[in-house]
Structure 1
Amino acid sequence: MRWNDIYIAGLGTRLPSPEPAETAVSEGRYSTQECKDNELISALVSESEPAVDMAAAAGRQAMARSGLDAEAVTLLLHAHTYHQGEDLWTPATYVQQHTIGGSAPSIQLNHGCDGGMVALHLAIPTLLAGPEGAAALLTTGDRFAPPGFNRWSSDIGLAFGDGGTAMVAARGGGVARVLATHSSSEPFFEGLYRDTDRGFTDAPHLAGTPLDLRGRKKRFAEREGLDTVMGRLSAALVENVEQTLAEAGTDLDQMVKIVLPNLGKPLLSWQLLAPLKIDLDRTLWEWGRRTAHIGAGDQFAGLTYLLESGQLRAGDLVVLVGVGIGYCWTTAVVQIEDVPDWSGPDAETLRVAG
């Protein structure tokens, strides 16, 4: 959908220190061959800070950078991929309590790695239906900790990084204007991340061992055919991105940067670069290979990095592409309105890059 009067007013991150991939290899937590193939340098690791606290810290930074009062926020959406620190609990209200307070609705989105992007897509109609100057605080937070998860080997083709990210979407102005967003899903792939052989369980992590997502994916690909899986994933991605660009009245050639999920190089290449026919240097690969995949927050963190590092100018177009299990895709085209100076000591994306 094409939008008017929707802006990104602030962005924030809370990113822990990176653990070198070589350390995980030396300790037997990461395959030597996969380390070589994926070409990932490190992954962000929170030793103790919970996912929700990282999300709240990012939210506070995004609000401060937006210049908006907490009272302007009429909606909070908190997205995540993995465990939030407690079962049968509402992490969104925790994030609200530790960011803006107040009585605005706060809602949890368990939408996989597309969660941050779909939060933006879903927040826009609420903002447009509300008063001028209304804002939405969108946060993500994930911590991929043992014993339930091995960030280096639970999945194939990528590693998982911890961190919190946030975006303030608002009416009336901001650092970037949201021209268009589009979200779609392909339920054929629901079983790609479900253990169809084992069946459903009565409680989480009953096996007491890290999740084996790669085994689920391999069995699905063997059953449906690898060519079918790759073909349908590529087609759905291209359709989503092309529709968003068309609604924004532009094309990929006009994009200054393309912000994609932070994946290992082979997976990034066949799942995203090849279908979209884009070169690696148009993406944030050199930064993303140092953070690894920050769950639902790659796109918010990536745009924050571009602004904190001064790589964008007023008028530049950027496309953000979200991909989540299920499978689902959400794309946004944004145009930079103003270039803030966010390069101070709290520019955590620059610390990671350094």
Structure 2
Amino acid sequence: MGDNRRVNTEPVSETTSLTKALLARVQAAIVAAGGWLPFDRFMAMALYEPGLGYYTNTTPKFGHLPQGKGGEGSDFVTAPELTSVFGHTVARQVAEALVATGTSEVWEFGAGTGALALQVLDALAAMGQTPERYTIVDLSGSLRKRQRAALAAHSDVVHWVDVLPETMSGVVLGNEVLDAMPVQLLARINGAWFERGVALDSQQQLQWADSPTGLRPPLDIAGPQDYLTEIHPQAEAFVRTLAERLHRGAAFFIDYGFPEAEYFHPQRHMGTLICHRAHQTDHQPLTDLGLKDITAHVNFTGVALAAQDAGMSVLGYTSQGRFLINCGLIDVARDAGPRENAMMQKLVNEHEMGELFKVLAFAPAASADNWAPMGFAAGDRIHRL
């Protein structure tokens, strides 16, 4: 990118052979790219490089504690791992959507440990609405292995695929999927915009490097202050691809994030990029490659617009807490014990997951007619997208 790059050093830790191997791949990619790698390409390698990336290697990811039985630790916990009440409640929306759209298959992207799939399938079976197929799309071989073990009781209906078919139908689920898709970083410094990427210092260690760019956030950022943020072309491209192929059914995505006006608020000047490891967070994605999750909050306005541009109708947008209550969380948890009820509070309380996490649903126009999903019956926030 020539002499216009701005550089600041952040050396990388080399604590494991996995990290060293992945670092070598990243170093080679930087050299091949002419000395500068856009952050989204770096993030894709850090998370998904075959056998080495965070989501493709064999290190444990999901769990309640940083150190578990047998010495196996975890980095973070998702809603299905907190309590089965989550999946049992989501299953009510799935059951309604299957009937309303006249479909018989459930698709789940990024199924993690298989906990959500197990909860949904158990609940659907109890309702007498077991789908003909439950198809999981997951790039991680190690997680697929865990999913097969967890879902052994439903092996007759669960299937795995690597790529999407040209056409598909059914109810799509994605819990904490969009946040793990690579993002581009934009930095406004002294009034000029740069794309932030990764380069090598004189010791061949990773460091940040900024290159002048014509890219801009979708909203003007008021004020003269320096500003760092993310844009999400890969997540939006994924949604457009899904929209083009889903000819009948509905899609529900649950994730943490904001509508556009909040995402690009002038006060959010440090962006939302964050790393998770051992149930702690940091802001150093260039360290401990392959050993930590790298994630950014979701711009739900951008996702909704991508779906609309591909011909979909937005069915609803609300907080996770409101969505779960609308779907009958209280009834589902009525006979749960004290621990389950305590975990349930984390799902809905505003200072926990209830407000930060949102639910966005969309469907092909033919599947959206004369149907309002129960999850958005009260508190729908489409007008805020």
Mark yes or no: TM-score above 0.5.
Answer: no
Which TM-score applies when normalising by structure 1? 0.27
TM-score normalised to structure 2 length: 0.25
**Structure of larger gyration radius:** 2
Q: Which has the higher strand share?
A: 2
